Chain A
Amino acid sequence: MSRDLINLIVEATAESLFMVAVAASLGTLFGLPIGIFLATSRKGELFAAPAANSILGVIVNATRSTPFIILVVAIIPFTRLVAGTSIGSGAAIVPLTIAATPFIARLVEGAIREVDSGLIETASSFGASPLQVVFKVLIPEALPGLVLALTLAVVSLLGYSAMVGAVGGGGLGDLGIRYGYQRFMPDMMLAVVIVLIALVQSVQTLGDYLARRVNRRLRHR
């Protein structure tokens, strides 16, 4: 493989990582509070607001059930509004974030719901305010689950980021489609797939390691 092609791969990988990193950060920024709210707002819970919980749940489900490629196309006007263009990695961050947010919210909800409700009650009985319960009990206790949830979200975003390549989003998917598929370069296609596999593998390994590190339920000797 020529030096030029290798440069292309490196560039595309950097683009993909950039898209994923920004979308994952923004997705966490929006998804974490939404997920915590979903996990604590049913009847009788910390921030009980059953109506808001149901409405938010429907919105989250609607976003999640829209196939990603359709979401990308459907929100092009919104993407233009936010990013000024609908082409390139910068623009791709918009649909990626919109797809990641509800996904992360559901994963966060699951992780938070794993926390023993007895602990919420314990903190409340000590006079903790609902926000203190969130920051002192729910998030620290759910941390291993949250780390695994984010890992899963990043892995999914890597897949999605390859998909936005099909509609001019840049990155590894773009490279695979334009060179590997349209110019019929099987070695390029293979290289893209190998890089993606390596990325997913490293992200998962790192995530598993971090989740173990923060898990105090396991014995540390």
Chain B
Amino acid sequence: MAPEAPAPDTMLRFEAVSKTYPAYRGKPSVLALQDIDFAIPRGSITGVIGRSGAGKSSLVRLINGLEKPAAGRVVVDGRDISALAGRELRLAQRSIGMIFQHFNLLSSRSAAGNIALPLEIAGWSKSDIAARVSELLDLVDIADKRHRYPSELSGGQKQRIGIARALATRPSVLLSDEATSALDPQTTRSILDLLADINRELGVTIVLITHEMSVARQLAKEVIVLDAGHIVESGNVADIFTHPRHSITQTFLAEVLGDTVPVSLSSRLQQQAKPCDHAVIRVLIRGTDGGDRLVARLARELAIDVALLSARIDEIGGQHIGSLTLGVPGDDAGLTRVLSYLSHHRFSVERLGYVA
């Protein structure tokens, strides 16, 4: 057993976990995860973000016991799942539900049949299964599709069945492995809303594995950023968004925040100034620095009418986060005043060039 009992409010804990895949058929051994330490509180929603190859899949397979760590322990609901095998492991796996990017529904079973699968595996009686399946079909709001086969359903409907199936055995943890990556934005939204409801109503701890920061932002309170097998950053979503420390995190944020210059603008950018050009600068808005009122402040305090070329500002955890791309008219003197004003107020600024 554990040397010290885990804190009662911890649902999932990695303790110094490393995972290597041994050399096989001429391929060198791969270090998939190294020294992973984290704890996920009961009832929380936590995002695990990383690019493909960052170690997300290994992390998932360690949590659901499909693989064993090379070192360290994976503790799920107080049980060291990495130490279990055979029947004990299979019993423990029933307390971990999982949903998948490609749904992984059996094409040979109807919606109801797919939801019944984990219950059949767990050895429930026919009548108990029937009652539970009806309950679950209602929970994911898809009761009218109970006799449909996966080939007759849309992606969103398939994922609802996947969620119902994952929740069938009343697991304490729900692992979502890129569950919305194959869905359109609107369907993604509805699936994420459903997951939020489930978390709220059933108290299921949700671990959201994704390569999309926008997905994590919509749902998760805490985020763990993985890169090349390491946790490079973790913490509260708002903190990570306002103060990203690692370059990987920053690129993830850039995708969400539109920190990229629109093509229509970047194609017109020039590096040399001509008379009457606007100097183009990009200002990052992070936190409570009043960046949302920046254009008005520049006009009022410096009497310079900057042009707003492109902008994206979101409110995350009460903080403004985003970027403004501004055109500063006139000579270099105006630009210098703007830049010194911005640096005085601790805005992060990037000079992009000039446009006519």
Residue of B nearest to A132 (CB): B121
Q: Pick the contact of B93: A119, A125, A143 (CB < 8 A).
A: A125
Residue of B nearest to A142 (CB): B108
Q: Is the CB of B108 within 8 A of A141?
A: yes
In this complex, the member of A127, A132, A140, A216 whose beta carbon has the largest number of chain B beta carbons within 10 angstroms is A127
Chain A interface helix/strand/loop/mixed: helix
A residues near B92, Cβ cutoff 8 Å: 127
A residues near B91, Cβ cutoff 8 Å: 127
B71 to chain A, nearest CB (A): 21
Contact A119:B169 (CB < 8 A) given known A126-B93, A126-B121, A127-B94: no
Verify if A118 is at the interface (C-beta below 8 Å from B): yes
B residues near A220, Cβ cutoff 8 Å: 149, 152
Verify if A136 is at the interface (C-beta below 8 Å from B): yes
Total B residues in contact with A, Cβ cutoff 8 Å: 28
Q: Is the CB of A216 within 8 A of B117?
A: no
Q: Is the CB of B151 within 8 A of A123?
A: no
Verify if B98 is at the interface (C-beta below 8 Å from A): yes
Q: Pick the contact of B106: A119, A129, A132, A214 (CB < 8 A).
A: A119
A→B interface (CB under 8 Å): 116, 118-119, 121-129, 132, 136-137, 140-141, 143, 214, 216-220
B→A interface (CB under 8 Å): 64-66, 89-94, 96, 98, 100, 102, 104, 106-109, 117-118, 120-122, 149-152, 169
Q: Is the CB of B93 within 8 A of A127?
A: yes
Q: Is the CB of B117 within 8 A of A136?
A: yes
Q: Is the CB of B106 within 8 A of A137?
A: yes
Q: Is the CB of B117 within 8 A of A123?
A: yes
Q: Is the CB of B96 within 8 A of A123?
A: no
Question: Which 3 A-B residue pairings sit nearest by Cβ, starting from the closest?
Answer: A127-B93, A127-B90, A140-B108
B residues near A128, Cβ cutoff 8 Å: 90, 121
B residues near A124, Cβ cutoff 8 Å: 66, 93
B residues near A214, Cβ cutoff 8 Å: 108
B residues near A126, Cβ cutoff 8 Å: 93-94, 98, 117-118, 121, 169
Q: Is the CB of B108 within 8 A of A125?
A: no
B residues near A116, Cβ cutoff 8 Å: 104
Q: Is the CB of A136 within 8 A of B107?
A: no
CA distance A116 to B96 in the complex (A): 22
Q: Is the CB of A118 within 8 A of B107?
A: no
Given A119-B106, A128-B121, A129-B90, 18 extra CB contacts under 8 A: A122-B104, A125-B65, A125-B96, A126-B118, A127-B91, A127-B93, A127-B118, A129-B121, A137-B106, A140-B108, A140-B109, A141-B106, A216-B107, A216-B108, A216-B109, A216-B149, A216-B151, A218-B151
Contact A127:B121 (CB < 8 A) given known A118-B100, A122-B100, A219-B151: yes
In this complex, the member of A132, A136, A137, A216 whose beta carbon has the largest number of chain B beta carbons within 10 angstroms is A216
B residues near A140, Cβ cutoff 8 Å: 106, 108-109
CA distance A42 to B93 in the complex (A): 24
Residue of B nearest to A137 (CB): B106
CA distance A104 to B146 in the complex (A): 36
CA distance A127 to B92 in the complex (A): 8
CA distance A171 to B90 in the complex (A): 53
Q: Is the CB of B151 within 8 A of A136?
A: no
Residue of A nearest to B108 (CB): A140
B residues near A218, Cβ cutoff 8 Å: 151
CA distance A140 to B65 in the complex (A): 25
Q: Pick the contact of B64: A125, A137, A219 (CB < 8 A).
A: A125
CA distance A218 to B107 in the complex (A): 9
Residue of B nearest to A128 (CB): B121
CA distance A122 to B100 in the complex (A): 9
CA distance A143 to B108 in the complex (A): 8
Give 23 A-B contacts (CB < 8 Å), ordered by A residue: A119-B104, A122-B100, A124-B93, A125-B98, A126-B93, A126-B94, A126-B117, A126-B121, A127-B89, A127-B90, A127-B91, A127-B94, A127-B121, A129-B121, A140-B109, A141-B106, A141-B107, A141-B108, A216-B107, A216-B149, A216-B150, A217-B107, A220-B149
Q: Is the CB of A118 within 8 A of B121?
A: no
A residues near B102, Cβ cutoff 8 Å: 118
A residues near B118, Cβ cutoff 8 Å: 126-127
Q: Is the CB of B121 within 8 A of A122?
A: no
A163 to chain B, nearest CB (A): 36
A40 to chain B, nearest CB (A): 16
CA distance A183 to B151 in the complex (A): 58
Contact A217:B104 (CB < 8 A) given known A127-B122, A136-B117: no
Q: Pick the contact of B152: A121, A125, A127, A219 (CB < 8 A).
A: A219
B residues near A119, Cβ cutoff 8 Å: 104, 106
CA distance A122 to B179 in the complex (A): 13
Contact A136:B149 (CB < 8 A) given known A116-B104, A121-B66, A127-B93: no
Q: Is the CB of A136 within 8 A of B120?
A: yes
Q: Is the CB of A123 within 8 A of B149?
A: no
